[in-house]
């Protein structure tokens, strides 16, 4: 494999990383995969693999060596610690002289966000900018793919989101956009919000899913205290509980209601709204059908 043309993709055990890698391979691009365990990867027999993680600096140096572009997905750790892991990856890219990097961030990333992960993404973005690497930051809104999973068994979304809205965006379309940017020369350098064409409240989201599934679904408003109380009974760590509740607070605060045309510009076509995206992917919501 010619390393001078190789594209590095991290997070290939996850949904977005694997989708990007598959699109690149389908387009006959030389790909290197960075993963904790190569034995768990399926369908990537033609790709080079490097085992390691963001805490393992030597593995990062091996992964970034000689590549012409890299996709860096967010790691899995508590906010703050996770940003430091991202910094490890960015610094490895700088040491290797990688010409171009895509970082997957989040819509509304800011130091004062209600969503802990958004604050973490903001810090990570600053670390990337300090490297002076030519880069694209994709600030994704919440994925349309996740909307059906927000309902409990009784068909209810519960949380302190109020009337706040979400500019739902399709994960497959984000993957396609990232693969396009990694493969071609382009002018999308800087920070770009990644959203669908419209924003919906959670009550409106429930109406869309009700129409698709032909089942009565609904949104139930909760106080922040109520949300923390029942979420803590599920066995998640405190930072995970805080992130979950904070995501609803961010919705209520309007942090993910912004609608932008950048994704459509990269794709060269209109982006999918929540209804059309989910109707084309019944596997995402078949569990909600009554």
Distance separating alpha carbons of residues 240 and 250, to the nearest angstrom: 15
Does the pLDDT at position 2 exceed 50? Answer: no
Work out the percent of the chain whose per-residue pLDDT is above 70: 98
Q: Which residues contact 26 (CB under 8 A, 6 or more apart)?
A: none
Q: What are the tens digits of pLDDT across the range 143-194?
A: 999 999 999 999 999 999 999 999 999 999 999 999 999 999 899 999 999 9
Higher-pLDDT residue of 48 and 79 is 48
Helix/strand/coil for 83? helix
pTM of the model: 0.95
Q: Once rounded to an integer, what is the mean pLDDT over residues 72-100?
A: 93
What is the per-residue pLDDT for 67?
Answer: 97
| Residues 73 and 51 sit within 8 Å (Cβ to Cβ) | no
Q: What are the tens digits of pLDDT across the range 210-254?
A: 999 999 999 999 999 999 999 999 988 999 999 999 999 999 999
Read off the pLDDT band of 277 (50, 70, 90): very high
Distance separating alpha carbons of residues 279 and 285, to the nearest angstrom: 9
What is the per-residue pLDDT for 79?
Answer: 82
What is the per-residue pLDDT for 70?
Answer: 98
State how far the alpha carbon of 244 is from the alpha carbons of 17, 56, 91, 114, 227, in Å. Answer: 22, 28, 30, 11, 9
- pLDDT averaged over every residue in the chain: 95
Query: In terms of DSSP bridges, do strands 134-140 and 100-106 run parallel, antiparallel, or are they unpaired?
Result: parallel
Give the least confident one: 24-33, 42-51, 113-122, 168-177: 42-51
The arrangement of secondary structure in 3-143+169-196+258-272, i.e. its CATH architecture, is 3-Layer(aba) Sandwich (3.40)
Distance separating alpha carbons of residues 16 and 251, to the nearest angstrom: 22
Helix/strand/coil for 196? coil
What is the per-residue pLDDT for 1?
Answer: 39
What number of residues does the chain have?
A: 290
Give the least confident one: 36-40, 214-218, 273-277, 284-288: 36-40
Does the pLDDT at position 66 exceed 80? Answer: yes
| Residues 205 and 273 sit within 8 Å (Cβ to Cβ) | no
What is the per-residue pLDDT for 4?
Answer: 63
Q: Once rounded to an integer, what is the mean pLDDT over residues 3-26?
A: 91
What is the per-residue pLDDT for 98?
Answer: 97
Domain ranges, ordered by start, for the chain: 3-143+169-196+258-272
Q: Tell me how far the alpha carbon of residue 16 is from its chain's centroid.
A: 7
């Amino acid at each position: 494999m010619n390393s001078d043309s190789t594209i590095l993709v991290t997070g290939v055990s996850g949904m977005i990383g694997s989708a990007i890698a598959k699109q690149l391979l389908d387009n006959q691009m030389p790909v290197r995969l960075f993963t904790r365990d190569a034995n768990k990867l399926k369908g990537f027999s033609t790709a080079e693999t490097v085992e390691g993680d963001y805490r393992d600096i030597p593995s990062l140096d091996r992964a970034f060596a000689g590549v012409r572009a890299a996709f860096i997905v967010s790691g899995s750790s508590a906010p703050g610690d996770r940003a430091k892991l991202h910094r490890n990856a960015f610094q490895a890219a700088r040491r290797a002289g990688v010409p171009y990097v895509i970082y997957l961030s989040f819509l509304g990333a800011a130091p004062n966000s209600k969503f802990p992960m958004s604050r973490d993404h903001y810090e990570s973005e600053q670390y990337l900018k300090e490297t002076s690497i030519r880069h694209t930051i994709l600030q994704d809104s919440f994925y349309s793919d996740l909307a059906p999973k927000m309902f409990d068994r009784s068909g209810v979304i519960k949380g302190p989101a109020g009337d706040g809205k979400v500019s739902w965006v399709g994960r497959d379309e984000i993957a396609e956009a990232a693969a396009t940017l990694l493969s071609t020369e382009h002018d999308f350098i800087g920070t770009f919000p990644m959203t669908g064409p419209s924003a919906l409240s959670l009550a409106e989201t429930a109406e869309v899913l009700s129409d698709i599934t032909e089942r009565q679904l609904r949104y139930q408003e909760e106080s922040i205290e109520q949300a923390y109380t029942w979420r803590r009974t599920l066995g998640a760590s405190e930072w995970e509980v805080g992130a979950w509740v904070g995501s609803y607070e961010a919705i209520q605060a309007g942090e993910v209601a912004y609608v932008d045309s950048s994704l459509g510009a990269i794709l060269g076509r209109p982006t999918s709204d929540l209804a059309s995206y989910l109707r084309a992917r019944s596997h995402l919501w078949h569990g909600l059908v009554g």
